[in-house]
Amino acid sequence: MEHGSFKDNSHATFTLGEEDHTLANAVRFVLNQDPRVTVGAYTIPHPSLESVNIRVQTTGDPAKEVFKDACQELMQMNRHVRSVFDKAVTEYKAEQERKEKKAAEELQRQRELFGSMDIESN
């Protein structure tokens, strides 16, 4: 829900229901890093109500577009986080498997060495 003025669409307050600091703070970070934004802030009117008011004031561009761009950028950042994380986890798991295999081979080699020594002593 957007509360703004019809004449000047560069200043607006967006009310999101069923949201809290989780989304609002994350969007605020991304919003403030956009050079078109002069004011990017959020408040929670009452902690018992699940509602967040996000205030956006820009240097001329319509506030709705800037806010949508910020959400879009946050979405893309998340996608990037997910892909980098998945890659890091697969690499780690592969590395662990390699180490385990090497340790198992080492153990096998040592066992064979001891085994052969027993035969010699016999």
For other proteins, how many residues bind (rule: CB under 8 A)?
43
Nearest distance from C-beta of residue 113 to other proteins, angstroms: 32
Give me the least distance between CB of 119 and other proteins, in Å please: 40
Using the contact rule CB under 8 A, the part of the chain among 3-11, 80-88, 99-107, 113-121 near other proteins is 80-88
Q: How far apart are the first and last CA of the chain?
A: 88
Neighbouring C-beta atoms of residue 93, cutoff 10 Å:
10
Binding of residue 43 to other proteins (CB under 8 A): no
Could you give the C-alpha distances from 119 to 50, 73, 90, 114, in angstroms and in order? 77, 69, 43, 9
SS3 of residue 32 by DSSP: helix
Residue 107 contacts other proteins per CB under 8 A: no
Q: Measure the CA–CA gap between 91 and 104, rounded to whole angstroms.
A: 20
- List residues binding other proteins (CB under 8 A): 2, 14, 16, 19, 21-23, 25-30, 32-35, 37, 64, 67-68, 71-82, 84-89, 91-93, 96
